[in-house]
Amino acid sequence: MENNATGNLKISSTAFDHEGVIPSKYTCEGEDVNPPLQIDQMPSGTKTLAIIAEDPDAPKGTFDHWVIWNIPPAKLIGGDTVSGVCGKNGSGKTGYYGPCPPSGFHRYYFHVYALDAELDLENGAEKAELQQAMQGHILAEGVLMGRYQKHGL
């Protein structure tokens, strides 16, 4: 195994498999709550977690669905929980914004980062601000990808 600067987190969910279909409960057609995320292989020294969930298939470019940081390190982030500081999503609001593609299947990437520090960022910060604040603090990262298509489309 190569000695990379960052390790690999293993991200999974009891709600859907990697590359599987996200249940409507976690979308705009359901309860619009975040899915549960299981985090394995977290390195020692992890002080906080951060998550960026995004849709690269959105018509106007990547749409940010969830930007959250300073989550206490835990192996499970429960569904419908806000355990950290929320940044601005693509709709201009803070918090989780579930998949809601205008047409066809879209891919949704849940990027999880293990950080060696608590980040000094204001509630409502943009994804780019979070990415900048994380630089030099990422111990490991992992991703879970789910897909979704609105019913009847």
Question: For residue 13, what are the domain limits?
Answer: 7-148
Q: How many domains does the chain have?
A: 1
Exposed/middle/buried for 92, CB within 10 Å: 0-12, 13-18, 19+? exposed
Cα 20 to chain centroid, rounded: 16
- The verdict on residue 120 lying in a domain is yes
- The verdict on residue 65 lying in a domain is yes
- The verdict on residue 2 lying in a domain is no
For position 4, what pLDDT does the model report?
43
- The verdict on residue 1 lying in a domain is no
pLDDT along the chain (153 residues), means of 10: 65 97 97 97 97 97 97 94 94 96 96 98 96 97 97 71
- The verdict on residue 27 lying in a domain is yes
Q: pTM value?
A: 0.94
For position 3, what pLDDT does the model report?
38
Q: Confirm if 110 and 39 have CB atoms less than 8 A apart.
A: no
Say which CATH number the domain at 130 has. 3.90.280.10
